[in-house]
Amino acid sequence: MARVPVADALFTWPSDDPQLIGSRCTSCGIVTFPVQESCPRCAFTDMEEHLLPRRGRLWAWTTQSFPPPSPPYGGPTGDAFVPYGIGYVELPGEVKVESRLTEADPAVLRDGMEMELAIVPFRTDDEGNEVVTFAFAPVGGAASGGGA
Ligand SMILES: [Zn+2]
pLDDT tens digit sequence for 4-41: 999 989 999 999 999 999 999 999 999 999 999 999 99
For residue 46, how far is its CA from the centre of ligand 1 (angstroms)?
8
For residue 9, how far is its CA from the centre of ligand 1 (angstroms)?
21
For residue 144, how far is its CA from the centre of ligand 1 (angstroms)?
40
For residue 23, how far is its CA from the centre of ligand 1 (angstroms)?
11
Mean pLDDT, rounded, for 70-74: 87
Indicate the residue type of 116: E
- Looking at residue 130, its pLDDT comes to 95
Confidence class for position 147, pLDDT limits 50, 70, 90: very low
In which order are the strands placed within the sheet that holds 21-25?
A: 31-32, 21-25, 47-51
Q: Using CA atoms, how far apart are residues 95 and 104, in angstroms rounded to an integer?
A: 23
Q: Using CA atoms, how far apart are residues 92 and 53, in angstroms rounded to an integer?
A: 8
- Looking at residue 44, its pLDDT comes to 96
Q: The pTM is what?
A: 0.88
- Looking at residue 109, its pLDDT comes to 94
Map residue 107 onto helix, strand or coil.
Answer: helix
Neighbour count for residue 1 (Cβ, 10 Å) = 8
Cβ-contact 30, 36 below 8 angstroms: no
- Looking at residue 146, its pLDDT comes to 43
Confidence class for position 140, pLDDT limits 50, 70, 90: confident
Q: Using CA atoms, how far apart are residues 148 and 141, in angstroms rounded to an integer?
A: 10
Mean pLDDT, rounded, for 49-60: 97
Mean pLDDT, rounded, for 80-91: 94
For residue 10, how far is its CA from the centre of ligand 1 (angstroms)?
21
For residue 104, how far is its CA from the centre of ligand 1 (angstroms)?
35
For residue 47, how far is its CA from the centre of ligand 1 (angstroms)?
8
- Looking at residue 141, its pLDDT comes to 61
Cβ-contact 132, 117 below 8 angstroms: no
Nearest to 52 by CA among 29, 18, 82: 18
The DSSP symbol for 106 reads G
- Looking at residue 145, its pLDDT comes to 46
